[in-house]
Structure 1
Amino acid sequence: MSIPFNVVAKINPQKKTQPKKYYATAHSSGEVTIRKMAKQIAEITTVSMPDVIATLESLVMIIPRHIEEGAIVRLGELGSLRISLSSEGCDTEEEVNASKIKKAKYIFTPGSELQETLKVLKYSKVKKAASPAPEQV
């Protein structure tokens, strides 16, 4: 299988007068639900689908507790989660305090097995749909 991609024209925001350049962007073929993945996990393990869902939901409840303590959450070969902060810049170290923090976000770092899959991906360009013919009056 190959990863489908679209072609998108973009303007360079720093050089708006230059012509657009074309870039490949990943094309989504849809979504997969946690329920579907739980069913697939149940098919290849001895764990039932409701148990898989309960375990994953519990993980979602537990991860924020450890993040709030400042921990990096390691998820085995899946990867790890950590927090990244965006803050206002200050002239001195003393000026920096919690009120200067503007945003926090999760950073996911894939594990080595997931990273390896990126090295062997194949790609295929998505064909554009034909434009509809103009209506005859």
Structure 2
Amino acid sequence: MSKGALEDAKLYYALAVNTRRVDFDDLCDEIAETCTLTSADIKAVLDRVIWAMVSHLKNSELVQFGDLGNFRISVGSTGSATPEEFSASMLRKPKVVFHPGKRLQEMRDVAKFARFTVDKDDGAEGGGV
């Protein structure tokens, strides 16, 4: 709530809306249409890429993936007053952190936005939004 706003005031925020979902098979088919590899070849390569990335991330290595970006493991914990008091039970679940590469950052910098309005459900049967 912004400073000085009334208690019952509503605030509106931006929210990204995905227009559709592109699944793995569709993405592989699309790539196959623009190169000499088959969709099955692309799936096999990406399977091995994931396998190799997991192996390197488990070894605390940063994985640099060309123009796509970097992947690394991040971990946090609760604090302890002394090093002796610290224990593994204080660790939080590790996260995979992705930092986009230059091309993805450039795409983000030129992204365009438009207002998207969702029709409210009128209560009639047959669904909603």
1:46 corresponds in structure 2 to 36
**One-letter identity of the residue aligned with 1:104:** P
How has the CA–CA distance of structure 1 residues 102 and 56 changed in structure 2, closer, same or farther, with 3 Å as cutoff? same
CA RMSD of aligned residues (A): 2.5
Q: Which runs of 4+ in 1 moved over 4 A?
A: none
Aligned-partner Cα distance in 2 for 1:60–1:81: 11
Aligned residue runs from structure 1 range 113-132, under 5 A: 113-129=103-119, 131-132=121-122
Pairwise CA distance, 1:18: 6.4
Cα distance per residue 1:22-73 (max 9 Å; x no partner): 1010012221111111111111111111000111111222211111111011
1:55 corresponds in structure 2 to 45
**One-letter identity of the residue aligned with 1:34:** F
Aligned-partner Cα distance in 2 for 1:44–1:89: 51
Matched, 1:72 2:70: no
Determine helix, strand or coil for the equivalent of 1:87. Answer: coil
**Unaligned 5+ residue runs, structure 1?**
1-10
**One-letter identity of the residue aligned with 1:30:** R
**Unaligned 5+ residue runs, structure 2?**
none
* Higher relative contact order structure (alpha carbons within 8 Å, sequence separation ≥ 6): 1
Aligned-partner Cα distance in 2 for 1:99–1:130: 46
**One-letter identity of the residue aligned with 1:108:** F
2:101 corresponds in structure 1 to 111
Cα distance per residue 1:70-114 (max 9 Å; x no partner): 101111110011111121111123333433212111110000110
With structure 2 as the length reference, what TM-score do the two structures score? 0.82
Pairwise CA distance, 1:130: 5.6
How has the CA–CA distance of structure 1 residues 82 and 133 changed in structure 2, closer, same or farther, with 3 Å as cutoff? closer
Aligned-partner Cα distance in 2 for 1:133–1:92: 59
